[in-house]
Structure 1
Amino acid sequence: MSRISFHLHCRRIDASRNMARYYVLAIRPTLFGETAVVRSWGRIGRRGSERTDVFATEQEAVAHFLGLARRKYRKGYIPTATAPVMT
């Protein structure tokens, strides 16, 4: 796996619709030499959901990561400087 780190933390807030959401994307290596795209999402301040998609190559994982990031950007999610802290 390359030394480039892929992490994206973004949020979408619309007070008129009572919407406050977060979306986190990351690419991580697995124990078996594969590459995984891990994503977490939910309402800000609450525990959300998580999904992991495993790919045989890093290129497939990066393409999937970028596709998800593009889709969230089109829906109005804005990148943030730091990750939300969940307790």
Structure 2
Amino acid sequence: MESDNLETRRRYREPVAEVDSEAYFEAYRDLLEAYPAADTGRDHYKTSIEYLQEIAEFGFGTEPEAFVEHLREKHSNRPAFLDELEPAGY
């Protein structure tokens, strides 16, 4: 949970999320919020969306959807990111 690396968090997702899924969701969400701005390009944005889809798997009601809307507003100056959200169902 102390890692600032999304890939590390992804690797330990199942065992950590089983223990405290809410804390995992919050920590993952905090890192993911800045991720789309860390780089540009559709491949980077597609990776961002893969992470979003993973947190949606935990079934936090509407929280993941609200988070995606927050990202959509925060990164509204990144049209390629917004384009990539559409085919992913966001």
Please confirm whether the aligned pair reaches a TM-score higher than 0.5, indicating the same fold. no
* Higher normalized strand content (fraction of residues): 1
* Higher normalized helix content (fraction of residues): 2
Larger radius of gyration between Structure 1 and Structure 2: 1
TM-score, scaled to structure 1: 0.34
